[in-house]
Amino acid sequence: MTRRDQPVPSHRRRDPVGLLYRAYWRAWQQAFFWTMTLGYRYRCWGRRLVPKEGGLLLVSNHQSFFDPFLATLPLPRHCSYLARDTLFRGPFGAIIRSLGAFPVRRGQADISAIKETLRRLRDGRAVLIFPEGTRSRSARMGPIQPGVAMMARKAAVPVMPVAICGASDAWPRGSLLPRGGEIHVKFGPPMQPGEVADMDDAALASELQSRITALMADLAALRDHRRRY
């Protein structure tokens, strides 16, 4: 087998999303970006760390219904994400599905959702997951659910920690409608497939939690500094 015939690793493949669909997704992305920027003073750090192509698993804390959009607003590429299966109803369900969301059954090991996540990653796509499995009841990150580390290792793509700060104030869990506030997002350096492969499930879950928590602390410090000055 020549080098030309050898399969391209999934984390090096180009994003397979078509041009028309990318334009549709980009229009929604821009509309939401300006809504968040003007309404919630949205700011992002670490965008240049995001690989522009190839399979990529983004792992973020989860504070509000805004989060799937907040974590993907600054991306230079399309990104799919997992969403609770009960959200895929009516016009709202049709919209989020058209933007790349796919369902996961909460509270159980959803094998079909895991397989779909791995399929998209191996096709060279970016996928966003929330390893807590549900929105946090506070600004703190909850424990990472079992199976997340296994999926991250099996995907054999870069794993990128993402932190969201302020969304729990902007749209608290239990609140019917969003409120005002200030929302910040920060991307951390991606963990490479070899680094992920060398860790067992417990060590990888702990490392991801530590990295996301550290990014959240950085954002909290930035918000405090901006409020003082």
What b-and-e string marks burial along 166-204, b requiring 16 or more CB atoms within 10 Å of the CB? bbbbbbbeeeeebeebbbbbbbbebbebeebeebebeeb
Domain borders along the chain are 10-228
Please answer whether residues 82 and 130 qualify as being in contact, where contact means their C-beta atoms are separated by less than 8 angstroms. yes
If you ran DSSP here, which 8-state letter would residue 64 be given?
S
Q: What pLDDT, in 10s, does the model give residues 155-196?
A: 999 999 999 999 998 998 888 889 888 999 999 999 999 999
Please answer whether residues 72 and 30 qualify as being in contact, where contact means their C-beta atoms are separated by less than 8 angstroms. no
* Phi/psi at 36 (5° precision): -70, -40
* Phi/psi at 200 (5° precision): -80, 175
Residue 17: what pLDDT?
Answer: 65
Q: What pLDDT, in 10s, does the model give residues 206-219?
A: 999 999 999 999 99
Residue 4: what pLDDT?
Answer: 45
Residue 155: what pLDDT?
Answer: 94
CATH number listed for the domain at residues 10-228: 3.40.1130.10
Given CA atoms 220, 187, 198, 105 in this order, what sign does their dihedral have?
A: positive
Q: What pLDDT, in 10s, does the model give residues 143-164?
A: 998 889 999 999 999 999 999 9
Which regions in the chain score pLDDT beneath 70? 1-17, 225, 227, 229
Write down the number of H helices and E strands in the chain.
8, 7
pTM over 0.85: yes
Please answer whether residues 159 and 57 qualify as being in contact, where contact means their C-beta atoms are separated by less than 8 angstroms. yes
The DSSP string of 168-191 is HHHS-TT-SS------EEEEPPPB
Q: Give, in degrees to the nearest 5, the angle at Cα 44 between 38 and 45.
A: 155
